[in-house]
Amino acid sequence: MFKTQVSALQLEIGFGGGEHLLHRATVAPQIGFIGVEPFVNGMAKMMTALGKTPLANLKVYDDDATRLLDWLPSASLDGIDLLYPDPWPKKKHWKRRFVGPANLARFARVLKAGGRFRFASDIDSYVNWTLLACRHRGDFEWQARDAADWHRPYAGWPGTRYEAKAIREGRRPAYLTFIRQ
């Protein structure tokens, strides 16, 4: 699948312009990364970057992430990142949020035991939504150890355009990590 030997497999859903995904794939060449982005502009930015600096440990998919999640074998991923997804802020649109029972079931199926699901957002209602949805499933354990944990970026976090915009606009990002039981 990859042009190099990889020891783990990581999925990033909705990579936007690809800044985070490119950073991670560059600093961890031993890990295979799959990035999903259905929007043409994000995919064009990624393909331009990969044209300049090809990465043997990175593959991209330009369609709906649920199709890929349904295709992947069970217990095949070591991690899933969902960073600043569309928050669908209006209550009548919440059913469109990516985090929901069907997609969390997909995550639980494709993540290995001990695999990590990371979620970042600056929208409080979506952060709360995700915490409750993962708690309700029972097979994802939130990894916060103290009150500051969920406002502390992940180790090696390069930041994203969406995070910078949120901070500029006065919103405080949250970084949630769940472990697949």
Read off the pLDDT of residues 16-60 as tens digits, 9 standing for 90 and up: 989 999 999 999 999 999 999 999 999 999 999 999 999 999 999
- To the nearest whole number, what is the mean pLDDT of the chain? 96
pLDDT reported for residue 119: 98
In this structure, what DSSP letter does residue 91 have?
A: G
Active site residues: 86
Q: Is the dihedral of CA 21, 29, 10, 153 positive or negative?
A: negative
Which helix (H) or strand (E) segment holds residue 108: the answer is: helix 101-110
Q: Which fold has domain 8-180?
A: Rossmann fold (3.40.50)
Task: Provide the whole-model pTM.
Answer: 0.96
pLDDT reported for residue 105: 98
Distance CA 109, CA 23 (A): 27
Look at residues 40, 53, 45 and name the one whose alpha carbon lies nearest to residue 19. Answer: 45
pLDDT digits (tens, 9 = 90+) for 126-155: 999 999 999 999 999 999 999 899 999 999
Which helix (H) or strand (E) segment holds residue 137: the answer is: helix 124-137
Distance CA 152, CA 49 (A): 28
pLDDT reported for residue 45: 96
Cβ of 137: how many Cβ atoms within 10 Å?
Answer: 16
Domain ranges of the chain: 8-180
Helix (H), strand (E) counts: the chain: 6, 7
Distance CA 52, CA 75 (A): 33
In this structure, what DSSP letter does residue 173 have?
A: P
pLDDT reported for residue 94: 86
pLDDT reported for residue 147: 83
In this structure, what DSSP letter does residue 154 have?
A: P
Which helix (H) or strand (E) segment holds residue 22: the answer is: helix 19-27
Q: How far is CA 133 from CA 17, 55, 59, 104, 180, in A?
A: 28, 35, 29, 8, 14
Taking a C-beta distance cutoff of 8 angstroms, is the pair 87, 126 a contact? yes
Among 15-19, 107-111, 160-164, name the most confident range.
107-111
pLDDT reported for residue 91: 87
pLDDT reported for residue 136: 95
The model's confidence at residue 177, banded by pLDDT at 50, 70 and 90, is: very high
The model's confidence at residue 103, banded by pLDDT at 50, 70 and 90, is: very high
Distance CA 170, CA 181 (A): 35
